Amino acid sequence: MTNIILCGGNGTRLWPISRTLMPKQFVKLFDDKSLFQLTVERNNVVCDSMLVVSNAEQYFLALDQLEEMGCESNKYILEPVGRNTAPAIALACMSLPAEKIVFVTPSDHLIKDHDPYIKVLLRGKELAKQDHLVTFGITPAYAETGFGYIEANGEDVKAFHEKPDLETAAKYVRAGNYYWNSGMFCFKAGVFLDELKKYSSEIYNMSKIAFDNANNGDILRIKHNDMAAIPEDSIDYAVMEKSKKVKVISSDIGWSDLGSFDALYEELPQDTNGNTINQNHVSIGSKNNLVLSDDRQIVTIDIDNLIIVDAGDAVLISQRGSSQKVKNIVQKLKEQNSQLHNIHITAYRPWGTYTVLEDKPGYKIKRIVVKPGKQLSLQKHHHRNEHWIVISGIATITIGEDTRQLMQNESTFIKMGEIHRLSNKTQIPLVLIEAQVGDYTGEDDIVRIEDDFKRK
């Protein structure tokens, strides 16, 4: 069985810890592990292979975190633009034998009850062998208005229902045969594709064109125009709500989609006053607060039921119970052309990381870490000069036709418009300080001439 892990989504309801270039599935929230890593761990028990579907930026995050775990994916499918779950799953299934059973999972859900989880997954595999499309319905713990519901008669699906109002959700819970829609599925690759072709033929046909035009290999890169031509739709709308082959398995597995800070509060360890445990939090007379801070000290006095999140470049303060509105803040930031929704102070790149230490009109200062054996693109800038100072390691620098090494405490200067490259040819990380000076220091002032990671 192959685990298809869907890594799309920006996790906007967990801003500011989740950003477009570092979404919640890759943030290490639980014992220094990310939700993506926890997904891999629990599914490796029953799956013999893995296929990760993500965009190009998230591919490198997945690759790094798999390397940390000492494992790797068999295949990657890289989407240049998201088109929802139906096309993503279709492209994945097209890369596999028709009889291959797949287990499709989001990468950003938390599941705490391991043994019941394995039990329902094995039951799903049995039904998939019988050519059913299997979905996993979560036993509802309360009347939730933020999830879709599945109405069932045993393992038969009677109907899918949209997100209800509170009164309707309460009625569903009382009925006892309604389940939250988990977004997890199990079926044969060929059976799903046949049903997709039958009920959503345009998605199938355009996905097939995109797949056929992509390069072959362990990393399948879909062309932008081909991906953009695929109609956008979820697997629920495209197939599951229409197919006559659907089964649902009741799943009481300690599941949470961590779709808000209120949901996250329930899953994090708390002290005797109901405050989440954080070494940077000092509390006097404060109760039932979610406090997240990696660096700065947070001090609270006589406050209750708040969400306080310090991400270095942004601080979120909200009443508990109101955190679903965070996504509205993200939309406001986009409208203001802010980059706060997009990127953290520390940005992850395929070659390493950079941390913005200061960003003011006319200059920007970064701390850059280049992983062993990696190099940045051969590039130039139209609007800035750059100064590099090596803090530790050995830098191999190319400026124009000249290539040389910089040792610790040595520095160099790159003029605006000059072609240059930074490389780490050693076996230890390279750390340097970069000072950018110019009338514009945005990340889009990069003209890539060559790139090991095929970025434009």
Listing DSSP states for 165-193 in one string gives: PHHHHHHHHHHS-EEEEEEEEEEEHHHHH
What residues pair up with 87 in beta bridges, in sequence order?
Answer: none
Looking at the 3D structure of the chain, how many domains does it have? 3
Same-domain pairing of 33 and 158: yes
Instruction: Per-residue pLDDT tens, the chain, 456 aa: give them.
Output: 999 999 977 778 999 999 988 899 999 999 899 999 999 999 999 999 999 999 877 888 998 899 889 887 679 999 999 999 999 999 999 999 999 999 999 999 999 999 999 999 999 999 999 999 999 999 998 998 889 999 999 999 999 999 999 999 999 999 999 999 999 999 999 999 999 999 999 999 999 999 999 987 788 999 999 999 999 999 999 999 999 999 999 999 999 999 899 999 999 999 999 999 999 999 999 999 999 998 899 999 999 999 999 999 999 999 999 998 999 999 999 999 888 988 888 888 889 999 999 999 999 999 999 999 999 999 999 999 999 999 999 999 999 999 999 999 999 999 999 999 999 999 999 999 999 999 999 888 999 999 998 877
What is the spatial distance between Cα 273 and Cα 268, in angstroms, rounded to a whole number? 13
- Mark whether 201 and 315 lie in a shared domain: no
Last residue of a domain, one of 292, 325, 358: 325
Which pTM does this prediction carry?
Answer: 0.88
Structure tokens at 399: 């400026």
SS3 assignment, position 40: helix
Q: Which domain holds residue 423?
A: 346-450
CATH number, domain with residue 35: 3.90.550.10
Question: Are 160 and 16 part of one and the same domain?
Answer: yes
Parallel/antiparallel/unpaired status of strands 219-221 and 178-188: unpaired
How many Å apart are CA 4 and CA 101, to the nearest integer? Answer: 10
Nearest alpha-carbon partner for 231 in 53, 80, 83, 89: 83
Residue 203's contacts (CB-CB under 8 Å, 6 or more residues apart) are 86, 87, 90, 196, 230, 231, 233, 238
- Residues 6 or more apart in contact with residue 189 via CB below 8 angstroms: 92, 93, 94, 96, 97, 98, 99, 100, 101, 102
Could you read off the pLDDT of 392-412 as tens digits, one per residue? 999 999 999 999 999 999 999
In-domain check, residue 333: no
- As a whole number of Å, the end-to-end CA separation of the chain is 35
Q: DSSP characters for 120-169?
A: HHHHHHHHHHTT-EEEEEEPPSS--SSS-EEEEETTEEEEEEPPPPHHHH
Pairing of strands 149-153, 156-161: antiparallel
Q: Are 103 and 174 in the same domain? A: yes
Q: What pairing do the DSSP bridges indicate for beta strands 49-55 and 2-6? A: parallel
**Same structural domain, 196 and 250:** yes
The answer to whether 256 and 263 are in contact (CB under 8 A) is yes
| Cα 238 from chain centroid (whole Å) | 23
Is 338 a member of any domain? no
**pLDDT digits over 22-57, tens only?**
899 999 999 899 999 999 999 999 999 999 999 877
